[in-house]
Structure 1
Amino acid sequence: MARSGIQYSDVQQAIDTLLARGDTPSVQRIREVLGTGSFTTISEHFRNWRIEREQNRDVPPPKGVPEVIVNVATELWREAQEAANQALVHYREDANRQVESAQQEAAEALQQTANAEQRESALAEHLRHTEQRLETLNRELAASQASERQWQQQAEQANQDAKRYQQLLTQSEHDVASLKERFTEELQQRQAAWEQRLAQEEQRNEAAEGKLMALLDTLRQERAQEEKALQKRLLQFEQRSDSLAKELQLKKDTLQHYQLDNSSLQQRIDELERNNISLKELHSSLQSELDKAHQALEQQHKTALQDENWQQQLWQRMEALQAQLTALPETLSSQEKEDNPPNE
């Protein structure tokens, strides 16, 4: 419901003013013309005006109006409608562009927000890794400091050991010098003794050289004899090798023959095994048939026993009937006698 204050006639006059100026009516422009009024009231009156205009669009002009005026008014009305439609299309395009721009800005804002969140997450992750790395470095620093103190202690201990070793080295050098002097003296003494022993050995060698030459001749003769014996043994070995090679070839031939025989025997064994399998299958089938025959024979035997019992019963009944037939004349005669007693 429209509120009191701005009336429909006021809105209609403002619309006529806008149309007379060639402007397209709108709620904002109507309010600018009126200078007051709420947008809700103006919007309701403006909607009613458009509904009324749509309803009166096809209403014929009143009678008595000159045709020229009617034509001019119709043409003006058509031009006004076209201008209004064009302005409306323009405003719609502007509105669509503004909506698209707003949507694009909203999408960009959302994208920027997502990017900011991603950057924040990445920074938080980087900060966490940095803190972890810092903690690791702190632990490594503490370990390095402890190791440094340990190495310093070891270095001090090494310096002390080096000083002690230096003292030992000095003492060792002094001992080596004294030992060197003693060794030189002993070497000179031993060299003199060796020279004396060498002269004695040379004299002994001259005496033993004759014996050595005789021994060499003896050894040469023995070697010649051993070489002859070795040649003889080599010849025997070659002969033995030839005979063994021939024997080996003979054994190879025999083995090949045995292998051929073995192959034929294996084939025969395979064939016998196949025959054995066939015989087993035949035996199984015959055994099955034999079992079936035994079952049938037992069934026939049972049937024969039943037939024999039935025959015995039949013979017994026939014998009873025969006895009755045999006794029948006597029975008949006795009955006749009873029926026909003798006359007194």
Structure 2
Amino acid sequence: MARAGVTYHDVVKAAEAIKSQRQEPTVDRVREHLGTGSKSTIAPLLKRWRSDNGEAADISGLPNDLIEVVKSLHERVQQMADHRIAQARQEFEASNEDLRKELAHANNTIAQLTARQQDLDDQLTRITEEKSLQGKSLEEARISLVKAESQRNEALARTNDLKESVRELKQENRDIREHFEHYQQRTAENRQQEREQFHMVNQGLKDQIQDLQHRLVQAESRASDLFDTNAQLQRNADELKQANATLNSDLGGKIEDIQNLKNEHEEVLTKYREYQHRNEQLAENMAVLTTQKADVDKQVAVLSQALETTKTELKTTQDKVVFLTDENKVILQEKAVIQGQFKQLQGSL
């Protein structure tokens, strides 16, 4: 992190001041001139200043082998970083495309399952409504059956009453006949009178018997119809029971299908979460690779800074070599003078 107060403008001013003194602006000189800031902060700002001013690093004094090694190292590191980033990007894009396809397939499957579940819900609603209607029909049939049984019981009771009346009338007819035979022995006048009365009564009784027989036939016919209606209602009730059992079985199957669809839906959601987790992991790997590239760039910056330091030291060494060369020349000149004096001394001797 850059310290407070160290900005690009400060580095530019310091570099220009150092350059005005006919010295090469280096990280150490800029830091010394500013009196603050770290090398890792000043180095990229100084590099930016050099790039803005179109200046290239003076590497004329460095050995070619060192320059080639640094260049090849920088190129190799850059190529490795670019290759790893490109490879990671390709893997991420391929995996992301697979995840998109799988996600689209999962969404289609979820949509199909949802539509199928909606159809099953509609079928279940329709079956429930049909079952309710059939239940109402069954209840109405039961009510009709109860009414029919009640009417049948009433008809049977009425038939029994009619039969009892017929028996009573027959018994009364027999009694009348017995009385008629008993009184036939009486006088002719009483017999004629009784015969006329008997004829009238007998005719009335015959009419009553015919009416009762006709009513009995009607009651028996109605009872037969009621028995047939009862049997038909009983068959309808059995059919409704069978239909109800079939609907209950179908309803159980539909409920089981809905449960299976829910389980499939849960599995699809689980796969979708797994794919999303894998996508997040790939994004994290991409972030890690990006961080590694940033670290490589920092290492390159450090190597560049080391190269700058090496150039500075090399220049200092070259200055020392020049100074020592000059001293060596002076010493050689003094040696030549001393040798000449020594030769002159030898000649004088």
Structure having greater relative contact order (Cα 8 Å, sep ≥ 6): 2
Q: TM-score, normalised by structure 1?
A: 0.29
Instruction: Look at both structures and tell me which one has the larger radius of gyration over its CA atoms.
Output: 1
